[in-house]
Amino acid sequence: MMLSRIFLVCFFFGFANFNTAYSEILKNPSIKIIGNKIISKETILNTLGLSNNIEIDTNQLNLYQQKILSTGFFSTVSLELNLNELIIKLKENPIIDYVFIEGLKDNKNVEEQIFKIITLKENTVFSESSLNTNTKKINSFLASLGYFKNSISYEVKQVNNDRVNIFFNIDLNKKFTIKNIFFIGDKKFSSSRLKDVITSTQDSWFSFFSSTNTPSNERVDLDISLLKNFYLNHGYYDVQIPSGSIEIVNNNSANLVFVINAGQLYKFNEVVVLNESPSLNDSDLKFIKKIVSSLNGNDYRLIDLSNLRNKITDYLYKNNIDSEVQYSLRKETPNNIDVSFEIKEILNKQFVGNIVVSGNDITEESVIRNNLFFAEGDVVSNLNIEKSKDKLKSLGFFKNVSIFKEDLKNSQNSNLTVKVEENATGEISAGAGVSNSDASISFSLREKNFLGKGIDTNANVTFGTERVIGSLGFSNPDFNETGNTLNNRIFVTSTYYDNAAYKSKSIGDNLSLSYEIFQNISLETGLGISFDSIDTDTSASNLIKSRDGSYLTNKVFYNVNNDQRDRKFQTKNGYTFGFGQSLAYFGSDIPYLSNNISGSFYNEFSQEFIGTIKYRVKSINSINSKDIMLSDRIFLSNSELRGFKHRSVGPMVDNEYIGGNYSYSTNFSTSFPNGLPDKWNTNSSLFLDVANVWGVDFDGPEDSSKIRSSIGIGVSWVSPVGPISFTLAEAISKDSKDEVETFSFQLGGTF
């Protein structure tokens, strides 16, 4: 018993001394570093935050060891104390001599991209942890390209004591495609409608050049974000999309599965403005209350809240009111949301100091800066930071965009760092289609960020039974750093319709400048030149033969567009209106003036019924005694008048349709549920078309002012072989010489 007590006393005495020793503070110790050949002593001391004249708390030795190991420069680290000396013993990791990637001889492009993403580079420090991290990064990158179930091995070969070579051996599996896309849970909307929201598409024999039919975790994350925004903008405030998964089906295909819990449909209830800014007077407050009152009773839509906040912010800025606005939401009653817009004075203003842009290896810094809503010297605004992030993401150049704010001590300035992660911006696509009257195949090349300058370039060619079209164009959204968009398009076309009795060939160039004159209202002005050749058939009438020849056209044109839609694709609410004119005169063989007016209205009556009205009016008239060129005359398109054969309505010469000088069309339609299973991916609509084409500027043709109209049903189906659309239409009113087409179909599209 006595021995046990003696042992315990000795143990606690020893522990106390041990603890005291390792709680000791060494003053002005000497620091000795052993084993560093490449990494300098100063680098190690800076890592630890130490110098030769400093107090060292020996209780922190483990932390010092972890700090040195975290640099990745060393494989082993030990720290010892010898009287008043700190001894740091190190073993350096070797330097990488070369990195080799084997197994990708037939995929040089993939190999080049892997070299760009890995951090193991020549003449950098090697570590086992970095090797494992980079192996995972390669595997993740290959999965983002659609390559799953790959085999990746590595080997580290010693060159000498200080240098190594690294060999990655990649056994690449076949690229996977998306077999099916499933939406499960309380989704409220049909699967076919939700497929219109996401970017991923199912594989089909038309999509052999597509990238959207390749499964990837990055695209799934994007699709989840798009789906969530879709529900938030359709009244579902509580929507939950917990997962989107890639489920492997076999050796080269996978299914995408999205789990959705839409929740209840909400409406805006009480909307109030809380003013905590003394800078805001009664008239300002009255104006803002009038703006927000538009929400009362409407379905909850996140985009409406964002738009109103932006409108209020713009009003405050334009009226020099140093205040900011935020909104908060409350679910006070079932299915209703109360909204409070809070306006607060900016008391402690922070100004933008330096703006640092990083991560842009390809994109020029000026492109990023020109899409920011702030500049050096501006007041720091959280709203402008968020708007800048959204604008940069919308360019399609970047996978991720982050903006960090760093407040500077003893200063009103804050530095902002814009960090981007670049995305592939090149696209190649192909498509094919066939309808009642035409079959075609098309190819397209596009680069959305040419030379990193934000310029959108594209080349397209379409070969069809009735026409061949080729074009080369570019669009510079910030021409000469003005914020205006410069567009240029060179085109070549050749057309020959069975019922036209002539061939038409054209080559030309259109150059235009567009800019926003008011919010959502844009103006485009431009110049165009074209050379046209009309080659008539031997069987054509004498009147048509007299139009045979070559023509030069020089024109100026402008277009004004007002776009108030809630979204550009799959629009549910809003309207558009546009008008424009073209004047061909100086040097033109046939001077003319053309006019066009068009617009549309959209209204979502319910989730399954979306009403649409579209209208268009066109005219073209010669401004001298010459007749309008045959290829410039107006015909109604298949979308303007269904139920009639294309180019088989309007003025005629000896049973040949020649088109008119005037046309108008109005289309009324509504979507409706068809009762077919969601997995069939079908959409259907009812429509009424009213249109006419008339007017000639030379003697002889037969003309008719008869109004043409039709009623019918349309069905679209995303089939395993590609998109298919069917139209069943019945002519209500027509001219006796018009050719009707009750049933029509379109198979295929561009991907």
CATH of the domain at 591: 2.40.160.50
What is the C-alpha to C-alpha distance for residues 590 and 625, in angstroms, rounded to an integer?
9
User: By the 8 A CB rule, do 626 and 679 touch?
Assistant: no
Picking from 3, 189, 216, the residue whose alpha carbon sits closest to that of residue 608 is: 189
Does residue 395 share a domain with residue 246? no
Q: Are residues 356 and 281 in the same domain?
A: no
- CATH, residue 114: 3.10.20.310
Q: How does the average pLDDT of the chain come out, rounded? A: 84
- At residue 429, does pLDDT exceed 80? no
- Is 460 part of a structural domain of the chain? no
Confidence of residue 716 (pLDDT cuts 50, 70, 90): confident
Sorting pLDDT into bands at 50, 70 and 90, what band is 204? low
What does the pLDDT read at residue 750?
A: 40
Q: What is the mean pLDDT of residues 184-188?
A: 90
> Is residue 13 situated within a structural domain?
no
Residue 436 lies in a domain: no
pLDDT number for residue 719: 67
User: Do residue 591 and residue 732 come from a single domain?
Assistant: yes
> What's the per-residue H, E or C state across 234-279?
CCCCCCEEEEEEEEECCCCEEEEEEEEECCCCCEEEEEEEEEECCC
With 80 as the cut, is the pLDDT of residue 506 above it?
Answer: yes
**Among the listed residues 246, 251, 289, the one whose alpha carbon sits nearest the alpha carbon of residue 271:** 289
* Number of other residues whose CB lies within 10 A of the CB of residue 163: 15
Q: Which of 146, 171, 196 corresponds to the end of one domain? A: 171
- Whether residue 441 is contained in a domain is answered as no
Number of domains, the chain:
6
Residue 597: what are its φ and ψ, rounded to 5°?
-130, 135
What pLDDT does 435 receive?
67
What pLDDT, on the 0 to 100 scale, is given for residue 22? 44
- Tell me whether residue 488 is in a domain: no
Residue 448 is assigned to a structural domain of this protein: no
In this prediction, residues 566-585 reach a mean pLDDT of 85
- Please give the pLDDT value at position 82: 77
Q: Is the pLDDT of residue 661 over 90?
A: yes
Backbone angles phi, psi at 467, to 5 degrees: -160, 155
Q: What's the one-letter identity of residue 222?
A: L
Tell whether 474 is covered by a domain: no
Q: State which of 171, 192, 215 marks the end of a domain.
A: 171
Q: Is residue 6 part of a domain?
A: no
Q: Which pLDDT score is estimated for 722?
A: 62
Residues 576 and 707 placed together within one structural domain of the fold: yes
Element (H, E) at 407: strand 398-407
The residues facing 436 across adjacent strands are: none
118 and 134 inside one domain: yes
Range of the domain at 134: 98-171
Q: Are 631 and 532 in contact (CB under 8 A)?
A: yes
The pTM assigned to this predicted structure is 0.65
The verdict on 585 and 708 lying in the same domain is yes
629 and 510 both lie in a single domain: yes
Average pLDDT over residues 451-465: 90
Percentage above 90 pLDDT, the chain: 26
150 and 165 inside one domain: yes
Name which of 667, 666, 648 is nearest 658 in CA terms.
Answer: 648
Please give the order of strands across the beta sheet that includes 413-422: 351-358, 413-422, 398-407
Nearest Cα neighbor of 191 from 735, 678, 710 is 678
Query: Mind listing the pLDDT tens digit for each residue in 86-130?
Result: 888 888 888 888 899 888 877 888 888 888 888 888 888 888 888
Tokens of residue 10, six digits: 């000795």
On the question of pLDDT at 13 being above 50, the answer is no
- 3-state class of 371 per DSSP? coil
Nearest to 254, CA basis, from 243, 245, 241, 267: 245
Q: pLDDT tens across 19-62, in order?
A: 434 456 667 777 888 878 777 777 887 877 766 556 666 677 78
